Amino acid sequence: MLPFRAQLGGSPQTYDIAALHSHLAACLNRFTMQPPPIYFTLRSKWLALTPRARAMAVCAAVAVAGLCLFAAFRGDPVERAVARGDLHAAKTELKQRQVADAGARSYDAGRIAEAQGAFRLATVSYLTAMRQGDDRGLERLIDMTRAPNCPARSAAASALGGVRDVRGVRALQDLKRARFADEHGKKKRRSSSCNSALAARRALKRARKAKA
């Protein structure tokens, strides 16, 4: 390709058209984004999938994206209340959270006391946790009515006598009819006067009076 002469505001200049084309091509290649090697690897793996596998992969990706968006926009209840200017709701949410944390601490204290054999103290902690909104306190008291040792069952029965809950009453009725090896079997201690069935009957009596 022959050079040509042109005048751009000054003296005439001579331009090499072939060199100009080469320079422009180099500039374009410099600014053209080349995909990374992993692109071609992922593309080949995607094309190797069956249509059903591709559809399942797309559905999984959409589900994950939806969960991420839900988590991002759901946010903290206190923050949401503050964002919409509802300070009363924000304070209520904060108070409920503090009560829930207190219930969890009471339940944990009960678990420790129970593990140490301090069954009466454990039942007090479970009752406190239940009143603070942690339902695990009541569930643990019910579980204690089926414990292998009489002091634990009796302590749980005494605590459930003051609980106005049908689940607690049902557990006491079961305990009243139950027979345990440490009270009636060969493992019964002669010097022990513990009687969990009697404790259950007394607790049921107190429950009926409280209900009346």
Residue pair 190/181 in contact (Cβ under 8 Å)? The answer is no
- Cα–Cα distance between 122 and 120 in angstroms, integer? 5
Nearest-angstrom CA–CA distance, 44 and 2: 46
Report pLDDT for 73: 44
- Secondary structure (DSSP) of 76-125: -HHHHHHHTT-HHHHHHHHHHHHHHHHHHHHHHHHHHHHHTT-HHHHHHH
Structure tokens at 40: 């071609």
For residue 203, the model assigns a pLDDT of 94
Q: pLDDT per residue over 82-133, tens digit each?
A: 777 878 887 888 887 887 889 899 999 999 999 999 999 999 999 999 999 8
- Three-state DSSP at 166 gives helix
- Mean pLDDT computed over 141-145: 96
Whole-model pTM?
Answer: 0.57
Average pLDDT, the chain: 78
B/e letters for 160-181, b = 16+ CB within 10 Å, e = fewer, are bbebeeeebbebbeebbeeebe
Cβ atoms of residues 170 and 178 within 8 Å: no
Measured CA angle at 30 (ends 28, 33), to 5 deg: 95
What's residue 4's pLDDT?
44
- Does pLDDT of 37 surpass 60? yes
Query: For 6-17, how does the pLDDT look when each residue is reduced to its tens digit (9 = 90+)?
Result: 444 555 555 455
